[in-house]
Chain A
C-alpha cells in the first residue's frame, strides 16, 4: 500500500494485461461448462471523414471478417459512421491505473509547455 490514493498493488504481469482479462473474475467457482469461447473484438467507428475513429463498443466473432460484419450490424444501424475498425480485445495493452501517479502526474508541473506561461505585452497583438 502506498499513500495518496494508491489503492492496491497488483503484479505487473496482471496489471499490464488487456483491459479485459478473461477469467480475472469468475462468478462461480466451477469450471464453466461452455466450450471454447468466441473471441471479443473492440469496435471503432469514424462518424464521418475528418474525424478520428472512436471506440463504440465490442462484439463477439470468430474472425476479423465476421467481426466487421457484426460491428456493422450492431453499431451502424442508425447511420453512425462510414468506416469501421475492429481490433481483437486481447491485442490491446493498457496502461496500469495503479501506476497512474508516476505515469501521468510528472507532467503536472511543467507549465512552461503551455502558451499562457509566457508573458507577451498585449501591444504585440495575437501570438
Chain B
C-alpha cells in the first residue's frame, strides 16, 4: 500500500554515452532488466531508493491499521483487518527481497529507516483516530496505492515488477474491504456516518498528497519515466484517483472536503474530470521531513520492535551454528 512520488532519489549517473544509449535501447524495447545485468549506477540507486521507500511504507503502514486490530468492532472485521495488515507485512517482505537482488540487505534498509535517512509514504504519519479511519485508509489510501502500483507491474526492473504483480493480486481485497466499512458506517447510525465523514475529511488531502509533488516540482520524475521505473506522472495518477473516487464518495453520501472541487468537461482530453483545490504542500513537506503527528512514534515503534527482537534473531543464529557444529562433529 504505497504511492508516492519518489523523494530524494539521486538518478545521476556517470557511465559513458555509449553504455547509456545501449541501456536505453533495451528499456525502449520493453526488455526487462534483471539483477545481474549491467545497469547505470543511477538506475540502480533510484531503484534501491524507490523499492526501499515502497517496502518501508508497507512496514510502517502496518502500524496505523494495526492500531485498531484489538478494537475491531466485530469478529469478521477483526479477521479481515488482521489479514490485511498481514498482507502489508508480506508486501514489505517481497519488496525488501526485490531490493536485495540489487545487493543491499534488508538489515541495511532497516537501518536506513530507523535512522531517518530513508523515507516512507507520508500518509502513515497521520494517526488513526476512529474505526472509520480503517475504512478510509482501505478506500482512499489503498485506492491511491492501486493507481500507482498497477503501472509498477510493468516496471522495467524484473524483480520489482514481479513483486508488484503478486502485491496487486493480493491487494485487490484491500480497497473493497475499506469501502465496505465506509458503506456500513454511512448506512448506520448518525454517529457512525459522522465518523465516516470525519475520516474522509482528515484523509482526503493526505491521500492526494500521496502521489507526490506536482510534475513541475518533481525533480527526478523525468529520468524515472525514461527508464520506465515509473510509467505515469504524479499529476496523471492523482487525476485518475480523484476522478475515480469522487463518485464513490457521492455514493456513500459523503462530501469531499474541497470547496473548489468541480467537474470540468475539458479535462482528460475532453472526457471530463474533476478539478481540485490547492494542495497544502507546506503540510506535505512538513510531514515528509518528520513533523507529522506520528512520525516520531512510527519510527520509535519500528526501532523498538527491531531492538527488542535482536535477542531472538541472535538466538536463532546461535542455535543454527550449534546444530551445524553438532552435525559436523557427528560426521
Contact = CB atoms under 8 A, between A and B. Distances in A.
A110 interface: no
Tell me which of B100, B107, B111, B112 has the highest count of chain A C-beta atoms within 10 A of its own C-beta: B107
Contacts of A1: 18
Interface in A50-87: 56-63, 66, 74, 77-78
B71 interface: no
B103 A34 contact: no
B316 A7 contact: no
A35 B310 contact: yes
A103 interface: no
Contacts, number: 99
B313 interface: yes
Contacts of B106: 37, 40, 60
B225 interface: no
Contacts of B94: 57
A8 B19 contact: yes
Interface string B38-56: 1000001000100010000
Interface stretch (B179-187, B191-199, B241-249, B317-325): B317-325
Contact of B103 (A21, A59, A74): A21
Tell me which of A20, A27, A28, A63 has the highest count of chain B C-beta atoms within 10 A of its own C-beta: A27
Chain B interface, >50% SS class: helix
Contacts of A26: 104, 108
Contacts of B93: 57, 59, 74
B271 interface: no
Contacts of A33: 111
B90 interface: yes
A34 B107 contact: yes
A26 B105 CA distance: 9
A63 B34 CA distance: 27
A59 B106 CA distance: 10
B323 to A, nearest CB: 7
A9 B226 CA distance: 25
A98 B38 CA distance: 7
Contacts of A25: 44, 48, 102-104
A21 B44 CA distance: 14
Contacts of B100: 20, 40, 58
Contacts of B109: 27
Contacts of B319: 62-63
Interface in A87-127: 94, 96-98
Contact of B22 (A5, A22, A28, A58): A5
A81 B108 CA distance: 32
B111 A36 contact: no
Contact of A19 (B35, B38, B86, B108): B35
Nearest to A95: B36
Given A33-B111, A63-B316, 13 more contacts: A7-B23, A20-B101, A26-B108, A28-B112, A32-B108, A35-B310, A35-B314, A57-B93, A57-B94, A58-B100, A59-B97, A96-B36, A97-B36
17 contacts: A7-B23, A15-B36, A22-B103, A23-B105, A24-B103, A25-B44, A27-B109, A28-B117, A32-B108, A32-B111, A36-B314, A37-B106, A40-B100, A62-B313, A62-B317, A63-B320, A97-B37
Interface of B: 15, 18-19, 22-23, 34-38, 44, 48, 52, 86, 90, 93-94, 97, 100-112, 117, 163, 166, 170, 310, 313-314, 316-317, 319-320, 323
